[in-house]
Amino acid sequence: MRTLVAFALRRRFCSMLTAVFNLLVAAAIVALFFLDVLAHAAAGPVTAVYLDDTTRGMHERFESFVHDDFHYEVSSRPCGDTAAILHFDGGWTVYSAKALDQGMMDQIRADVGQVIAERYLAYGDAVTDSFINDYRREIANQVVQQTDQGGDAYLWIIESVVYFMILGYGSAIASDVVYEKATHMLEVLLTAVDAETHFRAKVVTGYMSLAIQGGLGAVYVLVGFLLRYRYDRLAGLIAYGRQTLAAYGCAAVPTGLAVGWPAVVLSAALIGTGVLTIQVIMLIIASQLSSPEDASGLQGPFYVALLLGYYALMYYGEVADMQTPAGLVLSQLPISSMLVMPVRLLLAAAPWWQGVTALAMALAGLKAVTVLGMPFYQRGILDYRIR
């Protein structure tokens, strides 16, 4: 089995396609560490403040202000990335797609204070400095794309990445079987090893591919981190991250995260068992196919089913929903448990023993799929009938 696994891993990781893929992944990860620099370069700074209908009567005065880095203009357009909107509805608000820097906000507050003061003076009211200052303080910068994402969203994002990597690798392993079968390479291999060894080698190859790719990913993260550390000791990225998270209404660290060793170990074990189960299922399905054409015909509906399952889980993805009976059941069922239970465990929404029962059921599911699927695999890999 070791020979088969080593050969398959060498084929996978010593290919031009994998090299290009890894180059792209490495570039993407390093780019993430320079997100603030890239975002600034791509979008450019906010250079205009649009005056909407609610500030009618004051347009001319605002447009008369001259600043080096921005200007006011009358417009009913959406703000986009390079403009903000000044709005008055009893209180003053600056709407923008991203958080404005402190200097610009101070300047807008000063301008608004100036306009208000002039209007009050024009009406002959007595205006004190303290009144104007109070008014200025009320002006808030509100980001228009504000969302209600909570801390648990990050866990779902990480889990989604894991899930789609699993699908990708499971699919690659299944394609290997279809290729070997279509070229009759399998028959040659089966004169040297038995079908069970071949089957196990495929599963181990898939698992090790995932581990190696994960290891490579960790190296890319380290490289990105070191490059950014040399650039500015992460200062720019941290400031950008805080600003963005604050603007989007998120805490810097997901709230309620309970990252204890039992939760991490159980989560890793659940994800690992889920990976193996999905791969075994995909291998058994692949063994029933005779050609790459059959495989592509089947892949569509199969992926739709997996994606529907995924979106259903996302729908029940809120912590509150996971405490419903449906959430509890999904966190115990093999395969779905690899997505739901880690989130519940890491958010302290489930006691540890529920993680253990989910893992026991996942392992039982894996064993059942392997034992029940093996005869289908052994028959399937030598069956070339058109389906």
- 189 binds another protein, rule: CB under 8 A: yes
| Cα–Cα separations (whole angstroms), residue 163 to 24, 306, 339 | 20, 10, 8
Residue 123 CB-density burial (10 A; 0-12 exposed, 13-18 middle, 19+ buried): exposed
Which of residues 190 and 319 has its CB atom nearest to another protein in the complex? 190
| Smallest separation (angstroms) from another protein to the CB of 215 | 23
What backbone phi and psi angles, to 5 degrees, belong to 362?
A: -65, -40
* Closer CB to another protein, 127 or 182, in the complex: 182
Q: Between 337-346 and 152-182, two packed helices, what is the crossing angle to 10 degrees?
A: 160
Which one of 64, 145, 183, 324 is in contact with another protein (CB under 8 A)?
Answer: 183
Site for another protein in 194-253 (CB under 8 A): 194
Q: Which stretch binds another protein (CB under 8 A): 148-156, 187-195, 237-245, 300-308?
A: 187-195
Region binding another protein by CB under 8 A among candidate stretches 183-191, 236-244, 327-335, 361-369? 183-191
Told to check if 19 binds another protein by CB under 8 A, we report no
The reply to whether 7 sits near another protein by the rule CB under 8 A is yes
Is 20 among the residues that bind another protein (CB under 8 A)? no
Assess 367 for contact with another protein (CB under 8 A). no
Binding of another protein at residue 21 (CB under 8 A)? Answer: no
Does the protein bind another protein through residue 191 (CB under 8 A)? yes
Cβ of residue 18: shortest distance to another protein, in angstroms?
11
Cβ(29)–Cβ(64) below 8 Å: no
Residue 9: what residue type? L
Binding another protein (rule: CB under 8 A), the pick from 30, 74, 97, 193 is: 193
Size of the site for another protein (CB under 8 A): 20
Judged by CB under 8 A, the residue of 185, 308, 329, 368 near another protein is 185
Q: How far is the CB of 16 from another protein (least distance, A)?
A: 9
> Could you say whether residue 145 binds another protein (CB under 8 A)?
no
Considering beta carbons, is residue 53 or 187 the nearer one to another protein? 187
293 binds another protein (CB under 8 A): no
Rule CB under 8 A: choose which of 184, 233, 242, 367 binds another protein: 184
Binding test (CB under 8 A) with another protein, winner from 4, 83, 155, 278 = 4
Whole-angstrom distance, CA of residue 101 vs CA of residue 83 = 13
Q: Is 192 in the site for another protein (CB under 8 A)?
A: yes
Using the rule CB under 8 A, which residue among 10, 56, 67, 242 binds another protein? Answer: 10
d(CA 303, CA 168): 10
Indicate if the alpha-carbon torsion angle 207, 213, 214, 215 is positive or negative: positive
Applying CB under 8 A, does 296 fall inside the site for another protein?
A: no
49: number of CA atoms within 13 Å, CB side? 26
360: contact with another protein by CB under 8 A: no
Indicate the residue among 10 and 40 with the shorter CB distance to another protein.
10
Nearer to another protein, 188 or 312 (CB): 188
Binding site for another protein (CB under 8 A): 3-4, 7, 10-11, 15, 183-185, 187-194, 382-383, 385
